[in-house]
Amino acid sequence: MHFRSQGALRAFRNRTPYKRREVQDKSCYSGRNGQLVNESYTARFSADSLESGTLNTAGVIALKAGIDFVRSKGTENIYAHENRLCEKFISLLDREKVDVYRTEGVKYAPVVSFNIKGMAPEAAAEALSDRGYCLRAGFHCSPLAHKTLGTDEGTIRFAPSVFNNEKQVYGLVGEIKKLCENL
């Protein structure tokens, strides 16, 4: 299977976009549109000089389909669905064996950070992955937040999507309970 390249246009402040800027890394000028393909430079004439590579047609079509999908569902409905799944997830957990890092009465994005007591987050996420559940473990680009929480090894992150359902949440919680029993 062949994947098309993703092009980009690099613009510079106080310069017309079709003037070549000398830089150390000239690889950003290697995009081609079929014109001057055997030359070692990108065209210096407009509009070919703005060409940044092969158009990612499939990516553009997929992006539009995604935007149309979100518009048809409505962001409020998507948020409500994902948030309901988070609330269900939290309500089903055995809080004596699982730490959930949320404060009561605070509105959250539909994401739940948690840890299974006595099990490293990475090991728990891997065990859940082996059972068919994809959760991310680690510091989630927030090392200072983890320092504040005292989660020196990070946490496991449950982040449902519009495509998940309650049955999957029950299944995940069931697998977490099995992991807790085996500790």
Among the listed residues 117, 91, 4, the one whose alpha carbon sits nearest the alpha carbon of residue 52: 4
Contacts of 30 (CB under 8 A, 6+ apart): 42
Statement: residue 129 has pLDDT above 50: yes
In this prediction the pTM is 0.70
Closest CA to 78 of 12, 179, 163, 15: 163
pLDDT (tens digit per residue) in 102-116: 998 999 999 999 999
pLDDT (average), residues 156-178: 97
Q: What's 153's DSSP letter? A: T
Q: Do 33 and 51 contact (CB within 8 A), yes or no? A: yes
Of 1 and 169, the one with more pLDDT = 169
Q: Which residue has the higher pLDDT, 60 or 51?
A: 60
Which letter does DSSP use for residue 40 in this model? S
What pLDDT is recorded for position 141? Answer: 86
CA distance 95 to 41: 62
Q: Give dist(CA 147, CA 35) in Å, integer.
A: 54
Of the candidate ranges 6-15, 52-61, 134-143, the one whose mean pLDDT is the lowest: 6-15
pLDDT band at 169 (very low <50, low <70, confident <90, very high): very high
Q: Is the pLDDT of residue 131 over 60?
A: yes
Spell out the residues 6+ positions from residue 126 whose beta carbon is closer than 8 angstroms to its own.
Answer: 137
CB of 113 closer than 8 Å to CB of 148: no
pLDDT at 118 over 80: yes
* Runs of H (alpha helix) within the chain: 57-73, 75-92, 121-130, 143-149, 166-181
Question: Which tokens is 154 given?
Answer: 């990070």
Predicted local distance difference test score (pLDDT) of residue 13: 55
